Amino acid sequence: MTFKVDFLTLLAFLGTFQGILFAIVFWLKNKNIANKLFSLFLLVTSIRIAKNIFVHLQQLNPGMFQSMEIWRIAVYAGISHQFAIGPLLLFYFQAKLDRKFEWKAGFYFHFVPYIVLIFITPFISWNFWRYGGLWLSYLSILTYFLWAIHIYVRSYRIVDIGTSTWLRGLLIVIAVLLFAYSPALFHYIGYVGGAILYAIIVFVSGYFILINREALSIFRTKYETSSLKQEMVKEIRKAVEAEMENSQPFLNPELTLQLLASAMKVPAHHLSRVINQEFKVSFADYVNSFRLKEAERRLLDPRNDHLKISALAFECGFNSVPTFNTLFKKTHRKTPSQFRADAKQSESA
């Protein structure tokens, strides 16, 4: 019997293989938790896509795999990976948007359906997937996807532009794949249609990662190729601290890394390194820490009692009241209004 494979199927297979290869490279390249989670997310997604490719090959070559029980188990195990995609996506977004993110034992609860299905795969029939299993797996991904969007919308303003742009692009890609793999469209695109789309996304993403050093830096260890000497690091640190204390550039809501670096007459990438390495925060977090301190000072000043919280937030350099409230509550465990009221109560006591 001649084995049949068409060009589109070969393209889908190569894209999925590259996705798995990327997962391995990203896992080995950087040790932080966010990149580990992204590697696992890419791996389980690629495995799930690979399942469709092999089912399509079965359609091209009828009878080739029908007598293989192990083939049935492999196919059902591939579908089960859908229950791991959502949680990995969610925790990746949390790790990228929260610098204090730590893995907790309770997170494993989200993977219980996936783990259970992997273990009972040999005993599952196709009826399980046909009459509800496939819909549940799709709804699982959709639920976690919407959860990730919620986290992104709530926190994207407090991370650096590169991270925000990367996560926004990832959400768009996943939205496209969810649309392509929706049960309503399956009749039109078949098993291989979504796999081809995934392959194209992987190829295009890989191309831009390889030619764009900024994109590549998302996955590599920071400063591993930097030549900035430690003496210069100390000088820039002192300079940026003096600039923030004396000139208060953080009061400008349009302040960017480039603007601050220009004012200090230092290269922007050097300033970014110093802030990240010396203060262990992003540029956005560093600037917002000064804005929060200024807001705290003004909230405690009776002369500002007539000012609304929104007006005070804008005066301190924030261009979004929700962002100000979120950061303030995260720092002080209370809202700005509660902070002001407690301060007044302490004074009158």
In a domain, 225, yes or no: no
Q: Tokens 């000139």 identify what position?
A: 247
Burial class from Cβ neighbours inside 10 Å (0-12, 13-18, 19+) for residue 114 reads: buried
Strands (E) in the chain, as ranges, are: none
With beta carbons less than 8 A apart as the criterion, state whether 278 and 294 touch. no
Question: Which one-letter amino acid corresponds to residue 105?
Answer: A
Name which of 181, 176, 195 is nearest 134 in CA terms: 181
Same domain, 172 and 312: no
Q: Tokens 């962002």 identify what position?
A: 323
With beta carbons less than 8 A apart as the criterion, state whether 167 and 96 touch. yes
Residue 145 has a pLDDT of 95
Same domain, 18 and 140: yes
In a domain, 63, yes or no: yes
In a domain, 221, yes or no: no
Residue 155 has a pLDDT of 80
Question: What residues contact residue 274 under an 8 Å CB cut-off, 6+ apart?
Answer: 233, 236, 237, 240
In a domain, 118, yes or no: yes
Residue 274 has a pLDDT of 87
Same domain, 117 and 243: no
Same domain, 212 and 317: no
Query: What is d(CA 142, CA 148) in angstroms, rounded to the nearest whole number?
Result: 10
Task: For residue 158, give both structure tokens.
Answer: 């407090």
Same domain, 210 and 234: no
Query: How many domains is the chain partitioned into structurally?
Result: 2
In a domain, 18, yes or no: yes
Residue 73 has a pLDDT of 83
CATH number, domain with residue 243: 1.10.10.60
Residue 144 has a pLDDT of 96
Residue 41 has a pLDDT of 92
pTM of this structure: 0.63
The domain boundary residue, chosen from 154, 183, 216: 216
Residue 293 has a pLDDT of 92
Same domain, 160 and 11: yes
Q: Tokens 């997310």 identify what position?
A: 41
Residue 122 has a pLDDT of 87
Task: For residue 331, give both structure tokens.
Answer: 């720092």
**Residue 62 structural domain:** 7-216
Residue 64 has a pLDDT of 64
Query: What is d(CA 4, CA 81) in angstroms, rounded to the nearest whole number?
Result: 27
pLDDT, one tens digit for every residue, the chain (349 residues)? 566 777 777 888 888 888 888 888 878 876 788 888 989 998 998 988 888 777 777 767 776 665 567 777 888 888 899 999 999 999 999 988 886 788 899 999 999 999 999 999 888 888 898 888 888 999 999 999 999 999 998 887 666 667 788 888 889 988 888 887 776 666 656 666 767 777 777 777 766 666 554 444 455 444 444 456 777 888 889 999 999 999 999 999 989 888 998 999 888 888 888 888 888 788 888 999 999 999 899 888 888 888 888 999 999 999 888 888 888 888 888 888 888 888 877 766 5
